[in-house]
Structure 1
Amino acid sequence: MSLLQDTIGKIESLDKEMTAKARDRVNHLIKPPTSLGRLEDLAVQLAGITGNLFPVVDNKAIIVMAGDHGVYEEGVTSNPQEVTFAQTLNFVKGITGVCALGRVSGARIIPVDVGIKVDLPENSGVINRKVKYGTDNMAKGPAMTREEAIHSLEIGIEIANAEINKGANLLGTGEMGIGNTTPSTAVLSVLGKIDPLEITGRGAGLGTGGREHKANVIKRAIELNKPNANDGIDVLAKVGGLEIGGMAGVMLAAAASKIPVVIDGYISTAAALIAAAIEPKAKEYMITSHASAEIGGQKASELLGMKPMLYIDLCLGEGSGAALAFPIVEAACSMMKNMVTFAEAEMEI
């Protein structure tokens, strides 16, 4: 059995008995009912994920998948493709946005080259798991073969499993890839049956043709490749990205190991849609961090069926939203452990 199939087979629904116990405890903590809002729902979810009434998330890692995109040659962005290479090396130096934000909760940042267009220097500190030198141009044919798409998913699974084996009990997803809002929008368009023009945004910077040109490139790619919306792997292969596949693999691995995984912004949510299309139960282990400022961000979250925690106009990517959300996840655990019920406090209600 392949690693992907083996991982999918291990994904179960949340522990319903523990979820019920957690909800009962939350409802009886010394506070007005529902006064801690969605933090209460998060605590219940974490208990159901981990099977522990008092979940622990003291070992955190954000896995940042990096890859380039052949569709870049269509002029969909104004940013040099070389930025993918340069910024990926900066994750190792600890000087990027997600690195700065990850310091707040002590999260480790794990950069992975799953498809950068050029080779990184030896001993760069970036994990080299390159499937190929960037995807092919989806406006001229499939972004990758089905086998390459599965390979990207399995790389994500392997990297996540390695971190879990080191003790990670909370994962986050991040990415780096110039032009990757284009395949993300294509994925959302296919799975949500939405006109690309409705959800195409500026990304890190629009090319000279503007938003309409970018949307038309996406539409042309979908019409040419005819991805099957009922097959998440087919969608990933035909109009996705290697880093999108890598992140989806991380999410599947987290669900298989009963580990919560925090989803970053637009590109990560596109990856979450792929993971959920492959195995719907994987969604139960996901925590959405923030509402991306990208036009398609809200639609992506709605299609995933999850409401983000933070509304602060982020659109950086890298896993930055996941890093910001980690302390909230820790707060939910602290609420369960350090607050007492009315009965424990011997208070009349």
Structure 2
Amino acid sequence: MSYSIPALSDAILPKLQHKVDTKTKPLGALGLLENLAVQIGYIQQTLTPAINKPHMLVFAGDHGVANSGVSAYPQVVTQQMVLNFLAGGAAINVFCAQHGIALKIIDAGVNAELAEHPLLVNAKVAHGTNNYLEQAAMSVAQCEQALASGKVQVASVAAQGCNTIAFGEMGIGNTSAAALLMHVLTGVPLDECVGKGTGLDDEGVKNKLALLQKAANLHSLSAQNPMEALRCVGGLEIAMMVGAFLEAARLQMVIVVDGFIASAAALVAVHLCPLVLEYCIFSHCSDEHGHKHMINALGVTPLLQLGLRLGEGSGAAVAMPLLQSAVLFLNKMASFEAAGVSQAEGN
């Protein structure tokens, strides 16, 4: 598959920084919002960036390992939560409605047949993955189909005028897949990647770690082959997100990254094509144990730290107004010259 991502031109960066620095404020007074304004302008290669028709795509899929003791919840909760999304009752529905974010739910591999619904896209590759404690989670064909479908979903919303996109997920057991991918691709010890997920107690986390160590031992995985890692221990919703990250970067969209699982998908995409990272804004640092290590491995600074560990894209949705604030101050706030305000000496 092709991963041709445009390299961004650095020529615009000093112009963006000058525009930020000459607004009617002390240098750096808007903190991370200043960095955010520069990054969005850099992604869009313009001094007047805009957030147009933001979309949230929530990818859902089941994991064969879910019934092996890695989660506090049974596998059927994936289906139940997707129905909750479609009924408008989940956190992601509330936050998307609050902030004017269009929402789509993508069935990447839920272990159930879902009825047609205006919010639902049926992109099912399989009824969940295989149990990676016994065999590879996906076949080569399934993994490639999921990647290709993720690209299609992004291309579809981009064609509607969307230039800013975020990805959420739902899949019981997917913090385990994310932890394994993180371990393989970053080299961080597995015990630093594994957390409570949906609410395991200390004994549950210990059991989860033992099971994931078994999986890591079963599959010969390395950072040099991210596709094989994704195929062997990933999830259909994660693979679809990887394709979505690649396509969004190819289309030069602003990508708002959610928490632990979404960041794991971003990590795989960055290993496949490092330029993807330039298009990514990391919304928050999750309370899931391994996320801070993943953030450090990627070398990025998240916008928020709210102790979130829900997934669904909830952190990305909550952060979306910060992107609006960043572009609005860059475009609407007066400069010292325009306002007739004296600058600090030396500026």
TM-score (norm 2): 0.95
Consecutive unaligned residues of structure 2, counting only runs of 5 or more, are none
- Aligned pair 1:229/2:220, yes or no? no
2:32 partner letter: R
Residue of structure 1 in register with 2:166 after alignment:
172
1:233 partner letter: M
Residue of structure 1 in register with 2:248 after alignment:
254
Change over 3 Å in CA distance of 1:285–1:13 after alignment to 2 = same
Identity of aligned residues (%): 35
- Which of 34, 44, 51 is 1:50 aligned to? 44
1:159-198 matched pairs, under 5 angstroms: 159-198=153-192
1:237 partner letter: R
Residue of structure 2 in register with 1:27 after alignment:
21
Give the Cα separation in 1 of the matches to 2:10 and 2:248.
Answer: 18
SS at match of 2:131: coil
Q: How many residue pairs are counted as aligned between the two chains?
A: 343
**Contact 1:91 1:109 (8 Å CA) reproduced:** no
1:129 partner letter: A
Residue of structure 2 in register with 1:115 after alignment:
109
**Contact 1:97 1:320 (8 Å CA) reproduced:** yes
Q: Deviations over 1:122-148 (max 9, x none)?
A: 447411101111111111111112322
1:18-167 matched pairs, under 5 angstroms: 18-123=12-117, 125-167=119-161
SS at match of 1:344: helix
- Aligned pair 1:273/2:234, yes or no? no
Deviation at 1:67, TM superposition (A): 0.2
**Contact 2:86 2:119 (8 Å CA) reproduced:** yes
Consecutive unaligned residues of structure 1, counting only runs of 5 or more, are none
RMSD across aligned positions (CA):
1.5
Deviation at 1:195, TM superposition (A): 2.2
**Contact 1:89 1:126 (8 Å CA) reproduced:** no
Deviation at 1:328, TM superposition (A): 0.2
1:206-217 matched pairs, under 5 angstroms: 206=200, 210-217=204-211
Residue of structure 1 in register with 2:302 after alignment:
308
Give the Cα separation in 1 of the matches to 2:212 and 2:186.
Answer: 14
Give the Cα separation in 2 of the matches to 1:146 and 1:303.
Answer: 27
- Aligned pair 1:298/2:292, yes or no? yes
Q: Deviations over 1:191-227 (max 9, x none)?
A: 1112222221110132895111111111111111112
SS at match of 1:343: helix
